[in-house]
Structure 1
């Protein structure tokens, strides 16, 4: 059970046991507090640990990021790809000097741990799914909103999202003058259940996942929830933070290099600015239409406290970036304007002009 169920207004994000809060009765108010670094959000992430002296070199050999020699306490992100370069797993990574902590979407923790365990062979590593042992709390800014709260245990480890800048060895396809992720200051703490319960029982402001999701979409920040069975990292602009283009071989690397150096991703992510006139919000998975033709799928949607209804959608590369699209929700047709994230010409050799933002958002 989520520790925050004791808070007034708690509404669970799903029917799953222990699901975090979707909101506490005021999603937009919670979102404003979260954006200003004044609230904490229970993320309910999966927690997988890898211990042993070979942990970093082993993970380096089987995932997309450069992990050999990762300094203690430095945060990064990595992907597990299949032989064709499609995304199978994604993990936020930080090493505490003895253990690598992998934070992933809750539904991916057990599959990721099982896959890693199957790849150990004779190496000196141990893999464990520790999701039931810890909670994950997120906030924006350097100082945690709960820093003044008396906690029974300090955070076990803290992960700092690298999304604000292109990581070493990475590449960003976004061609905007001001990338909305440049002020993305997300931090995630792994804490004990006792610490989570102490914060829940305090007067510290809290926010639900609806608030976090709106901020994530506005920052163009991809997660595993935006991927499907065909997704390659280029389509979500995930080379920016989760792929090292010049590291050694790993499964799927040939596709990563070939698409980036010689071609273009077959699909591309766009941000959608949705018409909110009818007060309906299309759900993730909704088809994105151009006239009577399906041209993509919505992967995420939310109501942002400044931008209004927004979403992320993966569409065909050939789609006209200026075309007005439609989605249907509750039998209501919702029109949507596109904002280009990954341009049709994306690739190492592309000469993409810098584009103005449709609606820059700064946190204050």
Structure 2
């Protein structure tokens, strides 16, 4: 309010009854120095640089107004711009002199966006999970709240001022926390610290932990006699299915097929999708299995690694990098005039090869049939291993 009053007072005292300038701002920014040029954009011209609107100004007249040339209007806009820390003025509406001798108009006051405009983000990632979709809510706990579910901390994040930051209000900070949580597959954020704007910074600053909820195993409370009765009544097949269903989500990754140009890239992708389709059928979501998509895998790979680069001994390492419990990959080659395929499935925790199959065919159509016939048995070994480990 003090800055708005200053603008009005300064303009009223300049010569005689000058136009009124009103400013509405939503960011608290340091004033722009007089030595810095304020750019003026006409209604037909837009800045090429990215910007945000931080305020508005209007240039009106009354019966006593006479200092109202075009330059008076733009100077008034520039002065308002400097006071609230803007870089430029975009004139949104302008009326040239008609029944009066004055220019009139309104303008947006803008601030150019650079890398320094955004908050400084510091991340400490302990463990990554597949990213969660935007449609899935991320719960936020205040510093004093405690989650009512068992969880693990999989990372932390800090939101800080660069010294030139202005995209840093409380909404910006919370959106950043939520976005980073989703990236590494978290379920919630726990606020650790929040600092409101003060004399040293116009930004909100803070830190938070990223939480992943842990699914508890169901503990049976039936008596020994009841348990024996239930076992007698339950069909054997039903007991086997229950035993084979993990108590927590098991992540399975099928890496891109490697062929070294034996077949085309689009054919590589198709055969990989066939393997994922078989895996999804054998290991359904309702049984606590999740087959990672191509997008999941790409999002979780280290920045310096391409999904096409991984083969051989790198398969298990890549599986661990993307937090997969099991990882599979196919390799295409030739044997005489035939096309061959070899598929391997690894348990990432131990690095053990738990299953594989090989096939050869005269063409890709028949090779696909071989995959659909043999892959189910390979992926079924995951169920066997999970049941054994229970």
Work out whether the TM-score is over 0.5.
Answer: no
> Higher relative contact order by CA 8 Å / sep ≥ 6: 1 or 2?
1
Task: Name the structure where helix makes up a greater proportion of residues.
Answer: 2
- Over alpha carbons, which structure has the higher Rg? 2
TM-score (norm 1): 0.24
